[in-house]
Chains A and B, each alone.
Chain A
């Protein structure tokens, strides 16, 4: 059962990534694009975890952890840039 569930979930997140990319490309405003990029990071983390379960190793959970820890920073930087122009004041 697990392999099917994993396959389904991976398929869903892959589709989500494609849709995110659509949003990155087509969104009207820059904040929307940045949000889409942020969502992509989250979806990639999900894919990593799923892939880790499929491969049966704990290594990918750590990688996912690091993605989560550092990935949001670029979103913060974009937000700061859009709000204030200067990222580090």
Chain B
């Protein structure tokens, strides 16, 4: 199976749970699990080759111009991590099936889980750092969904937000770091970058890149001082915590440090930043873990501590330390996932995970006890379990590394951290399971069914087996991974007895000291609580609050909801930029001679100018302003005709009509006058800005028209190629459906979306306060009795077929003469609108067979299909073609594929316009207007009242 397919499988699998949940919870879990199992199988088929030293590549060009390629690579490191992600993922899927209660939406859970799984596998298999960044961000997003899965819990939502903020910020820093790195190496492909270590370390940009990339790693892996988000993310369901915080998400940072190890490590900067952070995190995490009472919080902080351990090992920069780091990643994933799941079982059965309320569970939950005992002892580093092996090797490395010439720094840090870690590991057993049985558990606990303990038991078994036979179970994969991390072949030897070394004494001291500390846990805990300590959540909230405050002040300053302010800022900005561009740019003096304007033009100009001024003066009386705007529209369309643009004139006129009807519909429910809100000074300022903007636009237009263009214009190209290239003599139409077909396609989609959004908004409006206001709405003017005048109805009926015929005519000839799909759509829409006005919505909708939604959908699909059709002729999307045909007895006529595209435009325009109007009509219905199904007020077929009486 290709590495790309392994990464893609979980994403495809994310589609399944939502469907399969309808077939029941078991079917859902089995379907989800099978996808993961399939991906795992595909991965395992590569395992022998990869362990043998092969690197499997799968390369697809995506955006090669940007250096962004879908390159995937499977080497030892990728194999180890992908194996952990998919293997533990499979166990988690089984565990979650039994953990989630019937009320939890399981389909959603598995969908999020699979998305996360896919993103993680993507990270570890990427061979392109830009692709890796995309997957990196995807893990942040999908983990946000998972952590906040219990939406009803405020801690869940807050924890999810905190995790997203911290890891998201780190991700942003990392993007910058990766771009710098790619820039130094001259390629964004990992396989190239990995060969250029020397060059990168010598570059002056090495330190910024290092710091930025490490910021991403440290936030993701919860290293000090970013460790605070991890415990808050524990509000998630336990399967999520077990998955994200033992094997996957927090290990992504470690993965990246390991991946970049050959390139970035080996310098003093790397050593001091990474190793120090790791050691400090290790100590702080272990210390906090000891004094937490929530089972999952203990595990969360001990995870922080162990991540610190691995980070420190990677930071040491020696090959031996890197091998230990790899080995400990495996061990930590196995015992920590088991512990998380066991904690989840305790929580699930006893209905609490507060250690103070637990104790004495040994007899009640023997299986869970056994699992916890094995895993916790391994975490404490008790022989012969796997935790002991890696801890011994770690101590061996750390004890012999001086820090800034001081030999005691690392030994002190790691031995005290190990000691505290032993104490908190033992505490999990002693305070939860040992001691007398209690009577006051919130729920009487007992072992769960096999399904729930199967997964942690399997991991506990793994802990023992790796502990007893490390070379058999882990030797090969550690060797393969270490080879990938260090970039050269390494010899891995893991054994229990190293002789009486310093590491052994340190280990014994840690275990004995840990047991003593646990004995003194009560008084020490009280002392700890009495000491002042920073509360991470409060600080985080304060920082976020301050940032939000600044953002709010800024956005409310320029964006306060008053249209006049936006317009003022926008206009002044454009004026400034325009002036700056004109003053700073190079342009020729105006050489063209102005044309003579005829008397008609002068009249039009005077009308337009007068009306525009009048709209500004009379705008408070809204209906008068609307009439004046109608005049403006009329003169503008006349202007288009005068300037030889009949297409635009027709469009302008149709849009004008639709706009007026829309505004009248809205005006019915709005105040009839605009209140005066601004004072004299403000109005003076606004008038000044408006005047400047108007003069500026006029000056720009004048300046432009006096000059020839410096470069050949696109208009000339369009004029020259319209007939030969697009097969049409109407250049406007050819531009719309051919030259700029892509734009038009996008525009009709936007138009369709706008129509649908207006429909959805009016639906939503009724549910809210506006809907209640509408129910209490009363008309503010008396109504005439003539609702559907007979004259209007008859005229509208006669006009309908004529208008549709005209619409079709305009549509058909659009390619060569003024017209086209857009205008035709508007003309037909106007004809339909007439029926609405004349006979009312109830009568019209009763006769309307096709939904307007369907018009929009069909229109976009036709336009899209026309574009795709070009692919079958092996041409790019939306390439048009045309030919001339002759069917006797008709004359020779032209058929262009652009016409089908235009049909899509036509249908979408009708759908969008009608849907908008129909939606607005429903507002009136909501306000209590009644409808009648009869076409008009009087029934002409009935006998007049006087005759009937006689």
Contact = CB atoms under 8 A, between A and B. Distances in A.
B758 to A, nearest CB: 15
A51 B646 contact: no
Point out which of A33, A62, A69, A74 has the most chain B C-beta atoms below 10 A from its C-beta: A74
B772 to A, nearest CB: 20
Given A63-B649, A88-B840, A88-B841, A37 B924 contact: no
Contacts of B624: 30, 33
A16 to B, nearest CB: 10
B818 A63 contact: yes
B841 A89 contact: yes
A10 B604 CA distance: 12
Point out which of B664, B779, B834, B917 has the most chain A C-beta atoms below 10 A from its C-beta: B664
Interface string B771-795: 0000000010101101110001000
**Interface magnitude class on chain B:** 35 or more
Contacts of B641: 48, 51, 60, 63
A34 B628 CA distance: 10
Given A74-B661, A77-B660, A87-B668, A66 B921 contact: no
Interface in B598-626: 599-600, 603, 606-607, 610-611, 614, 618, 623-624
B631 interface: yes
Contacts of A37: 627, 630-631, 634
A64 to B, nearest CB: 9
A86 B599 contact: no
B475 to A, nearest CB: 80
B653 A89 contact: no
A56 to B, nearest CB: 14
B661 A77 contact: yes
Contacts of A67: 637, 653
A33 B4 CA distance: 70
B657 A44 contact: no
Contacts of B841: 88-89
A50 B630 CA distance: 22
B603 A17 contact: yes
A24 B624 CA distance: 8
Contacts of B630: 37, 74
Interface in B899-950: 917, 920-921, 924, 929, 931
B836 interface: yes
B654 interface: yes
A72 to B, nearest CB: 9
Interface string B546-576: 0000000000000000000000000000000
A51 B668 contact: no
Interface in A49-89: 51, 59-60, 62-63, 65-67, 69-71, 73-74, 76-78, 80-81, 83-89
Interface residues of A, number: 42
A40 B656 CA distance: 14
Interface string A6-24: 0000110010011001001
A89 B638 contact: no
Contacts of B799: 69
B665 interface: yes
A35 to B, nearest CB: 10
Nearest to B617: A25
Contacts of B642: 51
A87 B839 CA distance: 11
A18 B931 contact: no
A18 B603 contact: yes
A21 B661 contact: no
B827 interface: yes
Contacts of A51: 600, 641-642
Contacts of A83: 783-784, 786
Contact of A84 (B603, B646, B661, B783): B783
B108 interface: no
Contact of A70 (B603, B653, B668, B781): B653
A51 to B, nearest CB: 7
B668 A66 contact: no
B634 A41 contact: yes
Nearest to B788: A89
A88 B653 contact: no
A74 to B, nearest CB: 5
B806 interface: yes
A10 B642 CA distance: 13
A37 B630 CA distance: 8
A77 B783 contact: no
Contacts of B407: none
Contact of B818 (A24, A48, A59): A59
Point out which of B653, B834, B921 has the most chain A C-beta atoms below 10 A from its C-beta: B653
A11 B628 CA distance: 23
B275 interface: no
Contacts of A14: 599-600, 603
B837 interface: yes
A85 B785 CA distance: 12
B650 interface: yes
B837 A76 contact: yes
A41 B657 CA distance: 12
B704 interface: no
B600 A47 contact: yes
A24 B600 contact: no
Contacts of A34: 627
B692 interface: no
Nearest to A41: B634
Contacts of B661: 73-74, 77, 87-88
Contacts of A76: 792, 834, 837
B734 interface: no
Nearest to B840: A89
Contact of B634 (A25, A30, A40, A66): A40
B827 to A, nearest CB: 7
B833 interface: yes
Interface string B650-672: 10011011001100110110000
24 contacts: A18-B607, A30-B627, A33-B624, A33-B627, A44-B638, A48-B638, A63-B650, A63-B818, A66-B810, A67-B637, A69-B802, A73-B657, A74-B630, A74-B656, A74-B657, A78-B627, A81-B668, A84-B783, A84-B784, A86-B665, A87-B661, A87-B665, A88-B661, A89-B841
Interface of A: 10-11, 14, 17-18, 21, 24-25, 30, 33-34, 37, 40-41, 44, 47-48, 51, 59-60, 62-63, 65-67, 69-71, 73-74, 76-78, 80-81, 83-89
8 nearest CB pairs, A to B: A14-B603, A83-B784, A89-B840, A74-B660, A81-B664, A88-B921, A88-B836, A77-B661
Given A21-B611, A78-B627, A86-B665, 9 more contacts: A33-B627, A66-B827, A78-B660, A81-B667, A85-B779, A86-B929, A87-B664, A88-B837, A88-B924
